[in-house]
Every structure is written in structure tokens, then in C-alpha cells.
Homo-oligomer: A and B are copies of this chain.
Amino acid sequence: MSNSGSNLDRLRRANLATVLGIVHRSRSVSRAQITAETGLYRSTVGALVTELAALGFVIEGEPEATNRVGRPSPLVTPAPGVVAIAVNPEVDAVTLGVVGLGASVEHRVRHPVESPVTPEQTVRIVRDLLDALRPGPLAGRRVAGIGIAVPGLVRTADGLVRLAPHLGWRDAPLTRLFEEELGLPTVADNDASLGALAEHLFGVGRGVDDLVYLNGGASGIGGGVIADGRPLRGAGGYAGEFGHNRPAVQDRTSERGALEDEVSRARLLAAAALAVADEPTLARALLGATDQSVRDELARQRRVLATALSNAANVLNPSLIVLGGFLATLLASDPVGLAGLVADQTLPPAAEGLRLRPAALGEDRLLIGAAELVFAPVIADPATLQRTAS
């Protein structure tokens, strides 16, 4: 109730944020490009970049060799001194990443576990991993905070994990635990929402302001939405749960009829007669199959998926739908066919501008998304991050 007005301080902070955001998203830009993109004057951009450099966020390097007249403009790049810790607890492992500005994943550790971890165990594992990294990748670096990609519903306001069925978590105060035990600012969000964010900023969705991301994994279908260039979170932060939607299905094969009951990795494994398989293996088996039953199951799942995607397209009118995990395999099994099914059930004007694409970022996706969560407030107000080393 006391902050909608703006003053010189905020003006400065907003411009610092704009410049740092450009450097972050572009990974490397000349000062002249920043001038053009912001519309600010040369001298102002100079001062802003100098301040960001003094704060340790960017470094000014040698100009790029461009073949144009005029004085070369120095290249501004993210400083390697600031990193975020990205954490992704899953049923079979806890993955930790050290991610710098510009979404550079500088280190990744996968810590396998035999049974799903508790929140407390997750904290301990992360602490041990961080202790091990401190002499190496973390030496002399400022840790801006910890970002956690949770396979479940996270109340984003306070990082309470309301429900993570496959981990067995329920109303777990995850970020509070991390902040108390590790003393680092911690934020958490749903994994698929972070995947959407990562693909939007650094993947196939670069420059696309309205996209839907759907990921198919062993534990179901998760999703995230970018609307008008910003993550769509909803009132509590639970938005994007496409997997639990009930689309119209011609020949229902499950009782509940939710998207993730009808379109599932388990059914694909069964159709391909595989017990367990990693994603590339499953994709090869499915895409190379000549067996009619396999192709029928692929076609059935494509039909159900198409209706769900059309429902999303009618409501959200994205210009891009990004598919990850086995949903990318479903797309690859018949890209034109799936796109046609979607177009048939989508209002023509909305269908016109719609593309379907496989996700691009691979295994770094969730780490980049989780780091983005950490960097967002830092970029929004660079001056607040303390200079004290980690």
C-alpha cells in the first residue's frame, strides 16, 4: 500500500535492471547495442555499465571485430563472480547446478538416491554438495541464492510445497528449511513452470512472449505458461497443471480420464515392450517401430494430446507450444499429423499463428529455470546483493 510511485532512486534501479537484464539474456552485447536497445543516451549507458561493473555483475571486454566504420564498442558480458545454486530433487536423485548470469551452467552434480528424499535430507545433501564445491567452482564467488525446481505444487509466495506426490511431500516448508540451514535466500517453483521460463529465455522460445510448455516424464505431465513475456503463476502459483485436465477423449482408457492418464510414458513403454528405458532409448524404439500396435498407441496418444493442446490454444492463444520429454517423441512421431489435429480443434485465427516445437535445452533446462528464479530479484535491483563473498 505504499510503493506504486516512482522516484529518482527507482528510475536508476530500473535502468540498471534493464541493462543487466539485456546482458543476462544476450550473454554478450556491445555498449552501442545496449544504447540502441534501451534508447538511453551513450553517456547514461556508460555510467550504468560502469556501475554494474563496479558492483561485480558485468565485465567490459575487448570490442568484437566488426567490419564497420566507427569506433569499436566494448563488449559487455556477465561477470563470472555471481552464481546461483539450482537444485532439482527427483525420485531417484538430487541434481545441483552452479549457474552464472547468462544462464551458463558451470557445474552440475547428480546425487543419486535409493528412495525419495525428504525435504530435510534434501537440505543435507545440498549442504554437503556445496561444501565439496566451495574450494572449487564456488571459490571467490558470490552466491546470489538457491533456486529449487520441485516436481509438485509450490505456493510461490513463501515456497511451501503443497503437494509433491512422487516425492511424498505435503505442505513442506522447503525454502524456510533451506534458509534456516544454509543461510542463503531460497526460492522454489514447480519444475515445469521453470522449464517454460528457461525455454522462453534461452531455448526454442527465445523472443516468443506467449508460449505453452508441456513436459512428459515418468511421473506424469507437467506444464508451464509464459503470457505476455512473463510466467503465468496464478493466484497461488499452481498454474500450468495441464496434466490433470480432462480433455474430451474418443476412446477413454482410464477411469479418471485426465490427460496424464491417457497420454503416459508407461503406456508407451508397454506398447514398445520395454521395462525401463531412458528417454533416447524409448524415442528410438518408438520412432523406429513398424509394429502396428505401437503405431496405434502413438496415434491414440497424439489424438488425446491434440485435444488438450487445442483447449490450451483456445484459452491462451500462444504462438508456440513447446513439448519436452516423451511428448517431444509424440510430436516427432508425426509432426504434421499432430499439428493438423490441433489446428482442427482450434479456432482458425488462433491456429494460424501457432507452431509446435520440441524443447531445446536438454538436461540443463530445469537448472537454468531455477537459477532464473534466483537471478530475477537480483537483476531487478542489482545494488541490493551484498558484495560479501560466499
- Bound: A209/B239 CA distance, A: 14
Residues of B within 8 A of A348 (CB): 162-163
- Bound: A210/B233 CA distance, A: 9
Quick check: is A234 within 8 A (CB to CB) of the other chain? yes
Quick check: is A11 within 8 A (CB to CB) of the other chain? yes
If the complex has contacts A228-B230, A228-B233, A235-B353, are A244 and B314 also in contact, measured as CB distance less than 8 A? yes
Residues of B within 8 A of A246 (CB): 247-248, 307, 310-311, 345
Quick check: is A319 within 8 A (CB to CB) of the other chain? yes
Residues of B within 8 A of A240 (CB): 315, 317
- Bound: A153/B352 CA distance, A: 13
Residues of B within 8 A of A5 (CB): 15, 18, 38-40, 44
* Chain A to chain B contacts (Cβ below 8 Å), 22 pairs: A4-B22, A4-B37, A4-B39, A6-B11, A11-B11, A162-B348, A163-B347, A163-B349, A223-B315, A227-B232, A234-B316, A236-B319, A236-B352, A238-B347, A238-B350, A241-B315, A245-B311, A246-B311, A246-B345, A247-B247, A247-B248, A315-B316
Let me know if B241 and A350 touch, CB within 8 A.
Answer: yes
Let me know if A314 and B241 touch, CB within 8 A.
Answer: yes
Write the nearest CB–CB distance from A31 to chain B, whole angstroms.
13
Let me know if A3 and B232 touch, CB within 8 A.
Answer: no
Within 8 A of B (CB), among A228-275: 228, 230, 232-242, 244-249, 252, 257
If the complex has contacts A163-B347, A239-B317, A345-B246, are A3 and B39 also in contact, measured as CB distance less than 8 A? yes
Quick check: is A292 within 8 A (CB to CB) of the other chain? no
- Bound: A314/B243 CA distance, A: 9
Identify A38's interface contact among B4, B225, B242, CB under 8 A: B4
Within 8 A of B (CB), among A291-333: 307, 310-312, 314-319
Identify A350's interface contact among B6, B236, B353, CB under 8 A: B236
Closest partner residue, chain B, to A152 (CB atom): B349
- Bound: A233/B353 CA distance, A: 14
Quick check: is A36 within 8 A (CB to CB) of the other chain? yes
Residues of B within 8 A of A18 (CB): 4-6
Contact with B along A21-64 (1 / 0, CB 8 A): 01000000000000011111000100000000000000000000
Write the nearest CB–CB distance from A261 to chain B, whole angstroms.
11
Write the nearest CB–CB distance from A263 to chain B, whole angstroms.
13
Contact with B along A334-353 (1 / 0, CB 8 A): 00000000000111111011
Quick check: is A380 within 8 A (CB to CB) of the other chain? no
Identify A315's interface contact among B210, B236, B239, CB under 8 A: B239
Write the nearest CB–CB distance from A23 to chain B, whole angstroms.
13
Let me know if A234 and B318 touch, CB within 8 A.
Answer: yes
Let me know if B349 and A245 touch, CB within 8 A.
Answer: no
Closest partner residue, chain B, to A223 (CB atom): B315
- Bound: A232/B227 CA distance, A: 7
Quick check: is A8 within 8 A (CB to CB) of the other chain? yes
- Bound: A350/B242 CA distance, A: 13
Identify A234's interface contact among B36, B350, B352, CB under 8 A: B350
Residues of B within 8 A of A248 (CB): 246-249, 252, 257
Write the nearest CB–CB distance from A124 to chain B, whole angstroms.
27
